[in-house]
Amino acid sequence: MNAKMRTLIAAALVIGIASGPAVAHAASVPAPAPAPAAAERIAPLVSTPPNAAALEAAIAGLGPRHKDATAALVRVGGTAGCWQGSSGTADIRTGRDAVEQGRFRAGSVTKVFTAAVVLQLASEGRVDLDGPVRRHLPGVVPDRYGAVTVRQLLNHTSGIPAADGPGDSFEAQWEHRFDVTDPRAQVANAVAKEREFAPGSAQHYLNINYTVLGVLIEKVTGMRYEDAVGARILGPLGLHRTSFPGRTETRIQGPHNRGYQAIPKADGSRELRDVTEWNSSDRWAAGDIISTTADLERFTVALFSGRVVPKDRLEEMFTVPDVKDFASGEPAAMTAGLSRTVLPDGTAAWGKTGGRHGYNSAIGATRDLSRTLAYSVNATDAKGRDMNPVALGVIMAAFTK
């Protein structure tokens, strides 16, 4: 693949953020056949087994001396076989190998769970996707945002601007890493501003859309957002290692690989600052879930098979609105919870990336589930403007035929 094509794919996927080099640990095993997708295939069937050599190369040599990542956990599945691998260092103080079944912050992969619950409620007749949000949230969404629909929140075409935060720089966010954020205060801050564009006329990927949806879920179900996702998705699917940290929790409970941010020093070297402990309440329904690659793979297969969102609503997750991206002017790429990426060989992959300091993650699959992917990469600049090279390498290797 040429450099230009890699750059284009990376740009699309971004819209979706001591010891010596470690050796990749991997295992190739036969794949259980997932339930067949009922919807019409969009991508060609991937009939070849995962390319073990390419996947091993993508995560080889990770650790504190690696430029881009200290560890990675990868799980590739599908009808042609599956592959699991890990590489790197769990803790640079001890040099301990990466925890192969470790838990991690999955960032914006949370949005897929949030969208799934909203679509379940729509299928039950409790939410009207084309109805104004303020019908469900009077007093929360003001009259001047009255035209904003639930569907427009789901596919980021609402025009609601981002809420104010501590700033975009790492140091500004580091200083506020233990702040506890009220999602309703975030919504109030955002909707006090002028809208960015007329609802439905453009797409701007912003967390605020899913913060409003989290408030909506609580209002309609009468449950805490976290409890609603647990009762409707985590429990029924047996995702026992997936959870939400809670409003005040800063730690990742259970075995995990620690996350680090590379800080440049005056002498040209760098410090790897431990960013594992962090309060994620500012991301809430948009990005604070904690999971494992095994749980995310199970969720992906169940979702694409129509066992999470009823089939009468599942198509929302595979429908890209016919508008332009607000920032770039390029065609929109986001759907209700997912995004679509066309790989160099024409394969269409659907999924969602996520980024929290110290952690890049993703789920992805072809529509027919002939190839699935779940990963966590402990990126040393996980919130950087460009996609992490290790994460991009994993994606390309996973879908190599």
Structural domain includes residue 291: yes
Structural domain includes residue 346: yes
Structural domain includes residue 231: yes
Structural domain includes residue 125: yes
- The rounded average pLDDT for each run of 10 residues, N- to C-terminus, in the chain (401 residues) is 46 43 38 43 68 97 98 95 97 97 98 98 97 92 88 98 93 96 97 96 98 98 98 98 95 98 94 97 97 98 97 95 97 97 87 97 96 98 95 94 76
pLDDT for the residue numbered 25: 40
Residue 368 CA to residue 45 CA, distance in Å, equals 7
pLDDT for the residue numbered 16: 46
pLDDT for the residue numbered 13: 56
Q: Which domain does 274 fall in, by range?
A: 88-367
pLDDT for the residue numbered 313: 96
Over the range 203-237, which residues count as b (16 or more CB within 10 Å of their CB) and which as e?
A: bbbbbbbbbbbbbbbbebbeeebbebbbebbbeeb
Q: What total of structural domains would you count in the chain? A: 1
CB 141 within 8 A of CB 192: no
pLDDT for the residue numbered 12: 52
pLDDT for the residue numbered 45: 61
pLDDT for the residue numbered 146: 78
CATH code for the domain in which residue 170 is found: 3.40.710.10
Residue 373 CA to residue 72 CA, distance in Å, equals 13
pLDDT for the residue numbered 10: 52
Structural domain includes residue 395: no
CB 217 within 8 A of CB 248: no
> Using alpha carbons only, what angle is made at residue 109 by residues 124 and 183, rounded to the nearest 5 degrees?
75
